[in-house]
Structure formats: structure tokens, C-alpha cells
Amino acid sequence: MTWLPFDLHPEYAVEGIPRAQLYARYGDGHVERLRDAFAALGLVYNPPPEVVPNTMRALRLTELARASDLHQPFHDRLMLAYWEEATDIGDPDELKVLAAEVGLDDDEVARVLGGDDLRDIVLGSTSQAQSIGITGIPAFVLDRRQLVLGAQPRPVFERILATLGYSPAGNRSTLDSDGERREDRTHEHDRGEHRDQPQP
């Protein structure tokens, strides 16, 4: 699986927006529904209670991490910090701490956070995603052929992968020139955050 950046809310102020504003948009019971959904999967729903971050800085740092072969650990650390530890991942000081934890170079982190480096990569990825119909996150492109929008339940992915020729074990069944069945490993490509771009 390859995670790619998607700038979901470029209109957000650099300091983010009040979380109450987001909850008002979705109505009563929104927090409880999310918390229950997370709990059903054994996950913790505990984002920063006061702010919904502007995540452009975090997305740019994930691209620095990708170039340093640290994308996966930094991505995972961001997700844990945001969803479970109530960390504002739009805050440069918080991002510096998280980046240091996974071994990103302090000077490189400071350089990215101090300017607009790697913004073009984030915007280019967002534009490319939008060109194929992605308007929100999460979004998944399976086997470079099938677009799946939204946080769908596991059976949805299993049905789609089956139509693409993959077995439940994640292998693609085909016949070789001798008529024998062979298995190819699944390649999944995920567009978006997102969870590279946590919301809400």
C-alpha cells in the first residue's frame, strides 16, 4: 500500500479551525458515533478537543520522510499522535517532536517547516487525485483500476478485490500458458490521507 497526500481543506487557516465549528456542521451525536465506530475496531477516538488542524505542514513533512525512507514510521506516528494522543499536528513545535522521534533530521525538518518546501508535491498529488474523481478522504485505488471512496467496511473491499481477480488471501489468481493456476501478490494503492489528512 502506498499512502499519498491529499490536501482536504486548503481553506482552513494555518492555525486550524475550532473543533466546535466542525461538530456543529455534522450535528448532535457526531462525536458519539465516531467514538463507537472506533471502539468497535479496537481503536481510540481522542483527537485534539479544541482544534481541527490545518495539516499542510504535516503533509509536507510526510514527503520529507518519504525521501528519507521514513514515511511509514512518520505516517504511523502522526496518526497515533492525532487520533489517540490529542496532538495538534498543525503545530510546528509538536511536529518537530514527532519528527525527531522517528529519526528525521532536525535541520531538514526546520527547513521544511520554515518555508514552503514540498508543497508542490502535496498540491500535485491532490490535483491528480481530484482528476480521477477523488473529492474527500479516505479514498483507495485498488490495483490501479478501481476507485473506492470513503471508509467502507471490509466486505466492500473483499467484494471489489474478488471482482479484480484476487483471492481472500490477497493473491490474484490467473492461468499461465500451460493452464496452471498461479498467484500474484495484490498491489493496493491508497490515494489520500488519510489518513494522511486526519478528519474530523
Angle at 139 between CA 117 and CA 62, to 5 degrees: 25
The whole-angstrom separation of Cα 92 and Cα 122 is: 17
2-133 is classed CATH 3.40.30.10: yes
Q: How far apart are CA 137 and CA 119, in angstroms?
A: 19
pLDDT digits (tens, 9 = 90+) for 106-153: 999 999 999 999 999 999 999 999 999 999 999 999 998 999 999 898
In sequence order, the β-bridge partners of residue 192 are 4
Task: Please return the burial class of 143, using the count of CB atoms within 10 Å of its CB with bins 0-12, 13-18 and 19+.
Answer: middle
Joined together, the cell numbers standing for residue 199 give 478528519
Give the model confidence (pLDDT) of 179-193 as tens digits: 333 333 333 333 333
pLDDT at 27: 83
pLDDT in tens, 26-50: 887 888 999 999 999 999 999 999 9
Q: What is the pTM of this model?
A: 0.83
How many C-beta atoms surround the C-beta of residue 157 within 10 A? Answer: 16
Locate the domains of the chain by residue range: 2-133, 139-190
Q: What is the pLDDT of residue 28?
A: 76
